[in-house]
Structure formats: C-alpha cells, structure tokens
Amino acid sequence: MKSDAKVIVVMPAYNAGRTLRMTYEELPKDAVSMVILVDDGSTDATLEIARQLGLEIFVHNRNYGYGANQKTCYAEALRAGADVVVMVHPDYQYDPRLVPQIIEPILRGEADVVLGSRLKTGSALRQGMPWWKYVSNRFLTALENRAFRLRLSEFHTGYRAFRREVLERVNFVLNSDGFVFDQEIIAQVVAARFRIAEIAVPTRYFPEASSASFWASITYGLSILVLLARYVLHRRELLRTRRFDSLRGRYTRLAPPERVAARARS
C-alpha cells in the first residue's frame, strides 16, 4: 500500500463523555488523517466534548445499537476517502497509542484486517478481565478458529483495522445492529478470503470503561453459536446466506439510510 495512505480512525460512541478526551489525546496524530465519531444517541456530554476536540461528528437520531454505530462509522470513513480504517473505542479500554502498530501489517501489504488481541500474551486476567469473560472468550475463540479454519488468539476485540477494499467488499449493512456485528463482519472477511493478522494489545478495566453485563454476554455468546452454524452451512453450500456473499459494486451501495445519521454542526 502507498506510504501516504489515508488512515481514518472511527469511534463508535455511546455515553463516552468521561473517557473520550483521554482517548483522543493519546491518539498518535502524525499517523492519523481524520477522526470520525458517530454518536449513537448519547445522553451525556459526549457530543459537547467531541465538538471541543474538533472531531468529524455524525449523530444518530436515537440509540440504534453498537452494530448500527459501526455501519455508519465505516460508511462515512469510506465516503471520506479512507485507505485504512481503524476502530478505536472512545471508552479508553484499548490503548490508542498502538494505532501505528495495528495498521503496519496493512501498510506493508501483509494483511487486509488486523485485530488487536488481549489474549495473545496471556496477560488479560492480570490486567483485570473478569474470569468468566476470559473463559467464555477462550471457548468461543476455539469454536471460531475451528469454523473459520484459523489460528487466532482472540476474535472478541473491539480494536480493529481494515483495508478499504475489505469494507467495500463485505456486505456489513446486512449485519446485526447489536454486539454480534463484530463477529459477523469477521465471518464475512473469512468468507471473502481476506487475510487476517493480529497484534498483542493491553486492555484496561475500570468503572468508566464500557463492559457488557453477564446476561448480555450470555446472549452474545448464543448469537455467536448461531452465526457459526450459519457460516458452516453456507461454506458447505447447504444453506446459502446472502450476508456472506461478497459485493462487487462501489461502497455507496453499503451506506445506511440517510435518516439514521446526520452530520453534526458546530
């Protein structure tokens, strides 16, 4: 990839007012061309702080969900001419300073998608990950590796980088508006035969960082099992699913309905 690639950071935000400034201030500005924040109906000071920071802001007219937020993030990043798109959660759980490392395999032409893994070094428990999340993460990751025929240390990370062509080809608009979107887009990436790499990243667990509850995590896990079953059936051509078919047109076909998000004015 060209050395002057346009790198756009997208931040899917929901009530991130207490951590947004910390996250943004630690972004390596020399490695990032633009920061886009999509607010998913926050009721705190998220929008006010985003305006103070001078971010490119898009606002949902209500809370649509984490997956819906990502759909807007990626569509707007593509419209802005991104060559590489990096998702950085504004809750300060992942280290923003690692953006240069997470995009490096893409810039070198060695990967199309890079995941920031909390489990690659085996230190997630020491960094505060709840034991039940660690165990379920390991279990689901083992199932996903088997279904996707990969050998990754973690699939359940919110720190991700995509080459532009990936987001143009996978039909992410058909995915869930909820948390399982993260795994659906990985299944699409695998189905389209894009290359996935991973780097080790530390993570932070503290009260202000967003974290799904135990019961929400159970629902998420069950949704992943359903997704894996559908993917395997699709791969074996026993039950075709349009979600896993690659697109051939331009990214404008992927744009979510204009009524959902509007550019925020200063």
Count of structural domains within the chain: 1
Q: Give the per-residue pLDDT at 179.
A: 94
| pLDDT confidence bin for 254, thresholds 50/70/90 | very low
Q: What is the C-alpha to C-alpha distance for residues 2 and 195, in angstroms, rounded to an integer?
A: 18
In a domain, 257, yes or no: no
Render pLDDT for 99-121 as a digit per residue (tens, 0 to 9): 999 999 999 999 999 999 988 87
In a domain, 19, yes or no: yes
Domain of 171: which CATH number?
3.90.550.10
Q: What is the C-alpha to C-alpha distance for residues 85 and 167, in angstroms, rounded to an integer?
A: 9
In a domain, 251, yes or no: no
pLDDT of 181 over the 90 cut: yes
| pLDDT confidence bin for 128, thresholds 50/70/90 | low
Q: Tell me the CA end-to-end span of the chain in Å, nearest whole number.
A: 35
**Closest CA relative to residue 200, chosen from 263, 115, 130:** 115
Q: Give the per-residue pLDDT at 253.
A: 47
In a domain, 170, yes or no: yes
23: Cα separation from own chain's centroid: 16
Q: Give the per-residue pLDDT at 206.
A: 56
Render pLDDT for 6-15 as a digit per residue (tens, 0 to 9): 999 999 999 9
| CA distance to 10, 13, 256, per residue, from 36 (Å) | 5, 10, 16
Q: Which domain holds residue 144?
A: 7-244
